[in-house]
């Protein structure tokens, strides 16, 4: 069944149709929340709260074609709220990996990033994402990890497409500056 029909059926009270929407977007919302928080527990909570809020307000959605952007907007707002309420430290524990990477970077005869496993690379990048300013982090995750267009990401973040583009360019430069000693 196509998404517009699923949204319409969900708005009419069809729980099975809403379950289909959950199945369609759960992984995307979870991945988005995890990339933002760096924590599986927080990502799971945000994901559950996102779909609970969506269920409670599905009737307010005017255009069934906008469900994807709408669900990402709910998740984005919850993530922003969570960050404001709790300024916790990053719980990834990547300090030892970064230390190893820095030691490798000091040895001019090695290519440090190549010597790290893909999991270690992902953890280092994840830590840098956690340190990135919020406006850059959100657009980076939405565009590069969730595959949204800059226009769609701008809609989710309630900003202009030009702003989203500027934030994305700033994020690229920010990451490049922090990762240059590793590559």
pLDDT over 60 at 80, yes or no: yes
**CATH code for the part of the protein at 95-179:** 1.10.10.10
Tokens 């994840």 belong to: 126
Q: How far apart, in whole angstroms, are the C-alpha atoms of residue 124 and residue 140?
A: 16
Q: How far apart, in whole angstroms, are the C-alpha atoms of residue 128 and residue 126?
A: 5
**CATH code for the part of the protein at 3-85:** 1.10.1740.10
pLDDT over 80 at 121, yes or no: no
Q: What percent of the chain has pLDDT over 90?
A: 50
Q: Is the dihedral of CA 91, 92, 97, 102 positive or negative?
A: negative
- Domain boundaries, given as residue ranges, for the chain: 3-85, 95-179
Rounded to two decimals, the pTM is 0.70
pLDDT over 60 at 42, yes or no: yes
pLDDT over 80 at 117, yes or no: no
pLDDT band at 183 (very low <50, low <70, confident <90, very high): low
The 8-class DSSP code of residue 66 comes to: G
Could you read off the pLDDT of 81-105 as tens digits, one per residue? 887 776 544 443 434 444 444 444 4
Closest by alpha carbon to 101, among 79, 77, 119?
119
Phi-psi region of 89 (alpha: psi -120 to 50; beta: other; left: phi over 0): beta
The 8-class DSSP code of residue 59 comes to: G
**pLDDT, position 91:** 42
Tokens 């469900």 belong to: 67
Mean pLDDT: which of 31-35, 52-56, 172-176 is highest? 52-56
């Amino acid at each position: 069944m196509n998404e517009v029909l699923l949204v319409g059926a969900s708005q009419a009270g069809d729980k099975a149709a809403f379950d289909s929407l959950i199945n369609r977007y759960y992984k995307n919302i979870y991945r988005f929340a995890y990339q933002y928080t760096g924590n599986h527990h927080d990502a799971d909570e945000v994901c559950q709260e996102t779909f609970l809020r969506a269920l409670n307000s599905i009737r307010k959605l005017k255009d069934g074609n906008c469900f994807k952007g709408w669900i990402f907007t709910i998740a984005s707002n919850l993530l922003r709220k969570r960050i404001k309420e709790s300024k916790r430290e990053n719980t990834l524990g990547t300090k030892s990996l970064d230390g190893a990477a820095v030691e490798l970077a000091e040895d001019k005869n090695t290519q440090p990033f190549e010597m790290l496993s893909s999991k270690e690379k992902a953890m280092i990048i994840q830590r840098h994402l956690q340190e990135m300013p919020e406006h850059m982090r959100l657009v980076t995750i939405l565009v590069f990890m969730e595959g949204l267009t800059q226009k769609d990401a701008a809609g989710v973040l309630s900003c202009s497409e030009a702003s989203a583009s500027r934030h994305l360019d700033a994020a690229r430069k920010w990451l490049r500056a922090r990762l240059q000693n590793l590559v």
